[in-house]
């Protein structure tokens, strides 16, 4: 019996990418033949890093994962998934709030675009980490060094220092 190659898409704004995201990427890399990290833009969130900067940072972080690629997109996530012929959408779950939101999203994506969603639970230590929370804590001067990869933390500190300087 021949194995059909499965391409998954892991969409998000990743502003900034967290250790929780990297945990989900590592799990997805084991589950699928190919994993595309799809870096989108959120119309409701004020960006710390540009989309190009996020793609560049994530690409460096996953450079040692041969079946993982990073791409940016500006259309609807399901449209991008169709463009790249993704078989499934990968999503990480942290808590019950995520389950409710992600369940609704998965049902909508399946009925609208026919794409299945595969959920993985993040490791316990990342159960409370979100990019939004990291941005807010960092903007208020809090230490987020344990929540995001070191190179991203360094770039975030630089960016916030520049903002404070203006």
Q: Which residues on adjacent β-strands are paired with residue 116?
A: 88
How many CB atoms sit inside 10 A of residue 45's CB? 12
Q: Please indicate whether residue 166 is annotated as part of the active site.
A: no
Q: Please indicate whether residue 94 is annotated as part of the active site.
A: yes
Selecting among 5, 42, 45, 163, the annotated active-site residue is: 45
CA distance 81 to 69: 14
Selecting among 27, 54, 91, 94, the annotated active-site residue is: 94
Maximum pairwise Cα distance, the chain:
62
Both structure tokens of 9: 């898409």
Q: What totals of helices (H) and strands (E) does the chain contain, helices first?
A: 6, 5
Selecting among 54, 91, 131, 135, the annotated active-site residue is: 131
Selecting among 21, 27, 54, 155, the annotated active-site residue is: 21
DSSP 3-state assignment of 132? helix
Q: How crowded is the C-beta side of 78, counted as CA atoms within 13 Å?
A: 13
> Phi first, then psi: what are they for 163, rounded to 5°?
-60, -40
Q: Please indicate whether residue 85 is annotated as part of the active site.
A: no
Sheet holding 68-72, edge to edge: 68-72, 34-39, 7-12, 88-93, 116-121
Active site residues: 21, 45, 94, 131
């Amino acid at each position: 019996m021949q194995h059909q190659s499965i391409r998954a898409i892991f969409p998000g704004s990743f502003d900034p990418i967290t250790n929780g995201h990297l945990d989900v990427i590592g799990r997805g890399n084991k589950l699928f033949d190919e994993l595309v990290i799809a870096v989108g833009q959120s119309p409701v969130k004020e960006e710390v890093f540009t989309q190009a900067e996020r793609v560049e940072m994530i690409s460096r972080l996953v450079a040692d994962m041969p079946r993982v690629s990073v791409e940016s997109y500006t259309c609807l996530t399901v449209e991008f998934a169709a463009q790249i012929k993704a078989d499934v959408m990968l999503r990480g779950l942290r808590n019950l709030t995520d389950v409710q939101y992600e369940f609704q999203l998965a049902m909508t994506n399946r009925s609208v675009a026919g794409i299945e969603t595969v959920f993985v639970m993040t490791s316990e230590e990342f159960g409370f980490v979100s990019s939004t929370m990291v941005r807010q804590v960092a903007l208020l001067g809090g230490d987020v060094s344990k929540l995001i990869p070191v190179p991203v933390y360094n770039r975030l500190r630089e960016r916030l220092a520049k903002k404070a300087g203006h």
